Structures are given as C-alpha cells and as structure tokens.
Amino acid sequence: MNNLNEVEMTNGLSFPKIYKDFYKLCESSTPKGMTGTDLFNKYKELNKWAKELLDEDNAENFLNDDDFVFMMHQGYMFWYFKANGNENPNVYFYYEGQKTPKEICSLEYFIQNYPNISE
C-alpha cells in the first residue's frame, strides 16, 4: 500500500477507498476472472503503455494527468478512472481501434462485477 500512497503524492492523485481496497486485495493474488490482465499492482507502466497503444492506433491521447490506468488486458485494451478525489469515479474503457474511450460504469460496480461487464 505504501507504493500507492507514494504514487498519489508524487503524481498529485487522490485514489478512492474503493480502489485502495481493491489494490490491497490484489497484492496477494490476482482476482478470479482477471487472468491475463495486467494490474497496476505489478505493472506501474500501465499509463505509459496505454499512451503507446493510443499512439499505435493513431488515436488522440485523451488521457489527462488525473486519469489513472489501473488495468490493461493483453496490451490491446485498458480501463481507467479519474483519480481526483471522487470516491466512486466512472470507469472508462478503451479497446484497440477505437478513437475515443467508452464510459462503462462506476468503479464500485466495476470491481464488484468484472469480468461480467459487457464493454
């Protein structure tokens, strides 16, 4: 959890408790249904990789400084939320070939229902 606190302080982000609890849960093991999905817990480069995917797709970089990529699957799709102090931010989804992300649901709903959410 110290790494997450450091990321907040270094990058001027504010993570919701929902995400902090999820992060802590994922420190011990990857949740069922997330096999093949890279989580921020192990891959601190997710924001960088997401920007690289956007560049490869010739899509405009829509990610702002407070957007936090917390999951990426197989390098061709990612999920992010605004880490701006909102306790239950919306989750956005980007899939290779799209030009813009899609807002899919709240972070709380996402964490409780992934992978049964249709993008």
pLDDT band at residue 38 using 50, 70 and 90 as cut-offs = confident
pLDDT band at residue 34 using 50, 70 and 90 as cut-offs = confident
Tell me what percent of the residues of the chain surpass a pLDDT of 90. 59
Q: Show me where the domains of the chain are located.
A: 2-113
Q: What is the mean pLDDT of residues 84-92?
A: 96
Helices (H), 29-69: 46-56
Q: What is the pLDDT of residues 58-73, one digit of tens each?
A: 999 999 999 999 999 9
Q: Are 1 and 23 in contact (CB under 8 A)?
A: yes
* DSSP secondary structure letter of residue 60: -
pLDDT band at residue 17 using 50, 70 and 90 as cut-offs = very high
Report the alpha-carbon distance of residue 41 to residue 30 in Å, rounded: 9
Nearest by Cα to 17 from 89, 68, 112, 103: 89
Give pTM, 2 decimals: 0.89
Residue 117 scores a pLDDT above 90 = no
